């Protein structure tokens, strides 16, 4: 080996691309060790700046708007509260909305680790939600039995659908993007038909409300003069994130799934059963999507709107990207997105900024989070090119 190549390059030095210095921020971003944190942070910063410009353009104060978002979602106290309401009420309501999003994002992340794009989280959510609603939602099971059964049915329904996608992938080499989109449509209309035909509420035009015994959110719990909604699924979602982190980093199965995702050829060469791992990853992804479904339709809501797919499954793709497909990162990114969507009602009523602006901000964050991948890609390309140059000095 020749002498030049022996020198270990410090990660910060790697990006000394040319004589014109690229600046400190660039060095920070280029440091691979910190990239999982710096790049999402950079993306969020960019999106907040862009959002601030949008708010300025409609003639409002962006700082106030951001403050209102935090107040509305129960992170900061509001100046005044209505009866039975308090910061705790708002905060629990935030967690209630965040629970399905967190499950759904974890579902996307697991598939992503195996190199699969699960677009079908929404369809899986609906399948799980519908199955659980029909099976348990109107039954007279007592609360202690009904809730676990709802969870199990959710996991089962999602996992079966995930396994089906994985099976299609390895047996017939059907791209999972195509099959999941198709399954989304099938779920949307098939279950829409059944809801309209059998369990529709003629007034609300939705499925009849489920009984509280099977609902995963305890509603209107009175404590200390406040009326709160307590999302039981939230604890499970956090536990799922922690477990997933452990599973991916520390177990043989996680290592194999990651290897299949990072380089399918090398996985095969190393003797890893690629088919088994593709299905396994999709089963786990489906199970998590199922949990997202039951915490959404039988927790956050208590009925299903027919022929409508929830946007949670799509938002989850971006939330997962923003969190770098890392379960811990996803806890934070789903919190952030939930804060914005939850706080928007308050922001619009106080600051007079249309609620749609909150959607714009969410959209911007998600857009920039996709750019985060792009930034990483760009930086890696530059790194690679430099390596290539060094190699080609023959």
Partner 1 sequence: MPEYIVEMKLITKKFPGIVANDDITVQIKKGEIFALLGENGAGKSTLMSMLFGMYEPDEGEIWVRGSKVKIDSPNFATKLNIGMVHQHFKLVQNYTIAENIILGVEPMKKLAGIFPYVDIRDAGRRIEKLSKKFGLEVDPDNKIEDVNVSIQQRVEILKMLYREAEILIFDEPTAVLTPQEIEFLLDIIKGLREGGKTIILITHKLEEIKKVADRCAVLCRGKLIDILDVKETSTRRMANLMVGREVNFETVKKPAHRKDVVLKVSHLTVKNQEHFEIVKEVSFSIRGGEIFAIAGVSGNGQVEIADAIAGLTKVSGGTIELNDTDITNYNIRRRTLCGISYIPEDRQNFGLVLDFTLSDNLALKSYFKKNFSPKGILNRGEIDRYGNKLIEKYDIRSGQGVRTLVRSMSGGNQQKVIIAREIELASPFMIFVQPTRGLDIGAIENIHNMILQERDKGKAILLISLELDEIMSISDTIGVIYNGQLQKTAETKSLTPKEVGEFMMGVRHG
Q: Does 389 bind partner 1 (CB under 8 A)?
A: yes
Q: Does 276 bind partner 1 (CB under 8 A)?
A: no
Residue (171 or 307) nearer to partner 1, CB: 171
Q: What angle do CA 378, 380, 386 make, to 5 degrees?
A: 105
Q: Does 38 bind partner 1 (CB under 8 A)?
A: no
Report CA-CA distances (Å) from 229 to 136, 175, 220, 244.
21, 41, 5, 27
Q: Does 9 bind partner 1 (CB under 8 A)?
A: yes
Half-sphere exposure of 237 (CA within 13 A, CB side): 32
Report CA-CA distances (Å) from 4 to 1, 133, 380, 390.
9, 66, 21, 9
Span 290-309, contacts to partner 1 by CB under 8 A? none
The count of chain residues that interact with partner 1, using the rule CB under 8 A, is 44
Binding string, residues 248-267; x marks residues near partner 1 by CB under 8 A: -xxxxx-x--xx--xx-xxx
Residue (125 or 280) nearer to partner 1, CB: 280
Q: How near is the Cβ of 261 to partner 1 at its closest, in Å? A: 9
Q: Which tokens in the block code for residue 315?
A: 């938002």
Exactly one of 5, 171, 307, 378 binds partner 1 (CB under 8 A); that residue is 5
Query: Which candidate, 288, 57, 49, 330, places its Cα nearest to that of 161?
Result: 288
Exactly one of 27, 28, 32, 213 binds partner 1 (CB under 8 A); that residue is 32
Q: Does 20 bind partner 1 (CB under 8 A)?
A: no
Q: What angle do CA 184, 188, 189 make, to 5 degrees?
A: 125
Residue (172 or 269) nearer to partner 1, CB: 269
Q: How near is the Cβ of 374 to partner 1 at its closest, in Å? A: 17
Q: How near is the Cβ of 108 to partner 1 at its closest, in Å? A: 19
Residue (1 or 57) nearer to partner 1, CB: 1
Q: How near is the Cβ of 155 to partner 1 at its closest, in Å? A: 21
Task: Give the DSSP H/E element, type plus range, for residue 217.
Answer: strand 217-223
Q: Does 173 bind partner 1 (CB under 8 A)?
A: no
Q: How near is the Cβ of 16 to partner 1 at its closest, in Å? A: 5
Place of tokens 């530059």: 382
Q: How near is the Cβ of 235 to partner 1 at its closest, in Å? A: 24
Residue (224 or 271) nearer to partner 1, CB: 271
Using the contact rule CB under 8 A, the part of the chain among 41-49, 180-188, 201-209, 380-388 near partner 1 is 380-388
Residue (1 or 197) nearer to partner 1, CB: 1
Q: How near is the Cβ of 263 to partner 1 at its closest, in Å? A: 5
Q: How near is the Cβ of 168 to partner 1 at its closest, in Å? A: 21
Span 190-249, contacts to partner 1 by CB under 8 A? 249
Q: Does 22 bind partner 1 (CB under 8 A)?
A: no
Alpha-carbon 296 to chain mean position: 13
Round to whole Å and give the CA distance between 168 and 120.
Answer: 14
Query: Which candidate, 97, 204, 218, 234, places its Cα nearest to that of 146?
Result: 218
Residue (23 or 59) nearer to partner 1, CB: 23
Q: Does 88 bind partner 1 (CB under 8 A)?
A: no
DSSP 329-386: HHHHHHHHHHHHHHHHHHHHHHH---HHHHHHHHHHHHHHHHHHHHHHHHHHHHHHHH
Burial track 329-364 (b if 16+ CB lie within 10 A, e otherwise): bbbebbbbbbbbbbbbebbbebbebeeebbebbbbb
Alpha-carbon 145 to chain mean position: 29
Residue (250 or 307) nearer to partner 1, CB: 250
For residue 66, what are the contacts with CB-CB under 8 A and spacing of at least 6? 48, 52
Helix/strand/coil for 231: strand
Q: Does 59 bind partner 1 (CB under 8 A)?
A: no
Question: Rule CB under 8 A: which residues touch partner 1?
Answer: 1-11, 13-14, 16, 32, 249-253, 255, 258-259, 262-263, 265-273, 383-384, 386-387, 389-394
């Amino acid at each position: 080996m020749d002498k030049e190549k022996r020198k270990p390059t410090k990660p910060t030095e790697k990006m000394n691309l040319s004589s014109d210095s690229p600046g400190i921020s660039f060095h920070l971003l280029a440091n691979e060790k910190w990239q999982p944190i710096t790049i999402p942070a950079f993306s969020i910063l960019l999106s907040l700046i862009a959002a601030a410009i949008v708010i300025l353009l409609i003639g409002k104060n962006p700082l106030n708007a951001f403050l209102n978002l935090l107040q509305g979602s129960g992170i900061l106290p509001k100046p005044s509260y209505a009866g039975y309401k308090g910061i705790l009420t708002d905060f629990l309501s935030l967690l209630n909305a965040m629970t399905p999003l967190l499950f759904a994002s974890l579902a996307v992340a697991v598939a992503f680790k195996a190199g699969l794009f699960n677009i079908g989280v929404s369809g899986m959510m609906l399948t799980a939600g519908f199955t659980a609603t029909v099976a348990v939602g109107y039954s007279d099971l007592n609360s202690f039995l009904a809730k676990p059964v709802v969870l199990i049915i959710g996991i089962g329904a999602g996992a079966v659908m995930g396994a089906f996608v994985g099976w299609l992938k390895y047996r017939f080499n059907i791209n999972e993007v195509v099959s999941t989109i198709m399954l989304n449509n099938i779920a949307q209309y098939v279950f829409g038909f059944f809801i309209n035909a059998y369990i529709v509420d003629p007034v609300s035009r939705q499925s009849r409300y489920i009984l509280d015994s099977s609902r995963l959110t305890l509603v209107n719990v009175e404590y200390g003069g406040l009326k709160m909604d307590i999302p039981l699924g939230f604890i499970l979602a956090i536990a799922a994130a922690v477990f997933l982190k452990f599973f991916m980093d520390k177990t043989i199965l996680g290592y194999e799934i990651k290897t299949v995702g990072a380089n399918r050829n090398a996985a095969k060469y190393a003797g890893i059963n690629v088919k088994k791992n593709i299905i396994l990853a999709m089963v786990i992804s489906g199970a998590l999507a199922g949990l997202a479904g039951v915490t959404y339709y039988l927790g956050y809501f208590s009925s299903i709107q027919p022929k409508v797919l929830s946007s949670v499954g799509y938002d989850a793709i971006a939330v997962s990207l923003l969190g770098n497909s890392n379960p811990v990162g996803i806890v934070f990114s789903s919190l952030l997105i939930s804060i914005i969507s939850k706080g928007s009602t308050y922001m619009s009523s106080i600051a007079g900024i249309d609620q749609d602006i909150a959607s714009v901000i969410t959209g911007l964050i998600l857009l920039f989070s996709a750019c985060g991948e792009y930034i990483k890609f760009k930086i890696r390309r530059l790194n690679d090119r430099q390596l290539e140059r060094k190699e080609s000095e023959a």
